[in-house]
């Protein structure tokens, strides 16, 4: 083994249907992910996907939370939630008024 390679131990290989079951999607979705380069695989018959490649795909596809979690039991948490709620309500009202003016209501 070269210095660049590490001994990662046994590698768990999954088939396309197993990966689809794991991600709760169709095998055609897995094929699209493979062909677009978003999911690494080992070509062959049957084709295999490393378990770590699936985990890497999930981590890359993860979307960060929009808001920081706030404890609603603390006074500052309630104030923060109320402020956000007011801001969202105001933004909704402004959009609603603009749409009504465009439609001539």
Q: What is the pLDDT of residue 53?
A: 95
Q: What is the pLDDT of residue 63?
A: 85
Q: What is the pLDDT of residue 2?
A: 47
Q: How far apart are CA 81 and CA 77, in angstroms?
A: 6
Answer with the residue of higher pLDDT: 10 or 72. Answer: 10
- DSSP class per residue in 41-78: -B-SSS-EEEHHHHHHHHHHH----SS----TTSHHHH
CA separation, residue 54 to residues 19, 20, 26, 37, 87 (Å): 7, 10, 15, 12, 39
pLDDT at 68 over 90: no
The pTM for the full model equals 0.55
């Amino acid at each position: 083994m070269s210095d660049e390679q590490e001994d990662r131990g046994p590698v768990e290989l999954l088939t396309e249907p197993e990966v689809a079951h794991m991600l709760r999607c169709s095998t055609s979705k897995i094929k699209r992910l493979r062909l677009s380069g978003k999911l690494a695989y080992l070509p062959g018959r049957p084709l295999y996907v490393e378990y770590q490649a699936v985990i890497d795909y999930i981590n890359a596809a993860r979307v960060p939370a929009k808001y920081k979690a706030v404890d609603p039991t603390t006074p500052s948490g309630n104030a923060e939630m109320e402020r956000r709620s007011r801001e969202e309500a105001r933004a909704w009202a402004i959009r609603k008024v603009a749409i009504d003016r465009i439609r001539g209501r």
